[in-house]
């Protein structure tokens, strides 16, 4: 499935957890930054997502960023500017939304490095840094679907 669609579905699911809130936010997929994975603009009520990074990490890893930014939105809707950005209220929302990583600063570069994109004949694969090093050194890995060897791109 298209990654943008996955993000939108995830947002809808999270919205349904807060039926008491009247959501009006907008979603923008054009965040271009090498360091910012996602952002929430409190003033404009816009969630920004970074597709360049999302494509590198895959949705499964990026999902936590979607939760992270959505939790900021929830905090804004519930408390406005009266609480800390990554305070205990935010952490509680993160837990409620089943975020894997509750900490405020997530080093997603680590994930990008450890999920390197390679290809076979049928699709893209994301492999760990260690596996990538072994692949570079001549180790062969086969795709389970097409039985072709994984290739570095």
List Cα–Cα distances, 127 to 33, 114, 115, in angstroms.
Answer: 23, 7, 5
Q: Which of residues 63-122 bind Zn ion (CB under 5 A)?
A: 120, 122
# residues near Zn ion by CB under 5 A:
5
Nearest distance, CB of residue 106 and Zn ion, angstroms: 9
Question: Strands 124-127, 46-49: parallel, antiparallel or unpaired by DSSP?
Answer: unpaired
DSSP line for 38-98: EEEETTTTEEEEBHHHHHHH-HHHHHHHHHHHHHHHHHHHHHTTSS-TTSHHHHHHHHHTT
Binding-site member from 33, 44, 103, 145 for Zn ion (CB under 5 A) = 145
Residue listed under structure tokens 């404009």: 44
Binding-site member from 3, 42, 106, 143 for Zn ion (CB under 5 A) = 143
146 binds Zn ion (CB under 5 A): yes
Nearest by Cα to 74 from 8, 23, 5: 23
Nearest distance, CB of residue 5 and Zn ion, angstroms: 23
152 binds Zn ion (CB under 5 A): no
Per CB under 5 A, the segment of 29-37, 44-52, 134-142, 144-152 that binds Zn ion is 144-152
Of 60 and 147, which has the nearer Cβ to Zn ion?
Answer: 147
Binding residues vs Zn ion (CB under 5 A): 120, 122, 143, 145-146
């Amino acid at each position: 499935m298209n990654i943008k669609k996955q993000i939108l579905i995830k947002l809808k699911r999270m919205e349904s957890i807060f039926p008491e809130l009247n959501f009006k936010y907008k979603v923008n997929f054009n965040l271009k930054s090498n360091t910012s994975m996602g952002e929430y603009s409190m003033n404009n009520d816009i969630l920004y997502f970074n597709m360049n990074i999302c494509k590198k990490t895959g949705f499964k890893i990026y999902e936590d960023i979607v939760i992270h930014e959505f939790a900021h939105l929830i905090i804004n809707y519930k408390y406005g500017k009266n609480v800390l950005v990554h305070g205990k209220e935010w952490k509680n929302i993160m837990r409620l939304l089943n975020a894997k990583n509750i900490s405020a600063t997530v080093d997603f570069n680590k994930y990008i490095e450890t999920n390197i994109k390679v290809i076979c004949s049928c699709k893209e694969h994301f492999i760990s840094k260690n596996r990538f090093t072994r692949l570079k050194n001549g180790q062969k890995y086969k795709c389970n679907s097409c039985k072709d060897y994984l290739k570095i791109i």
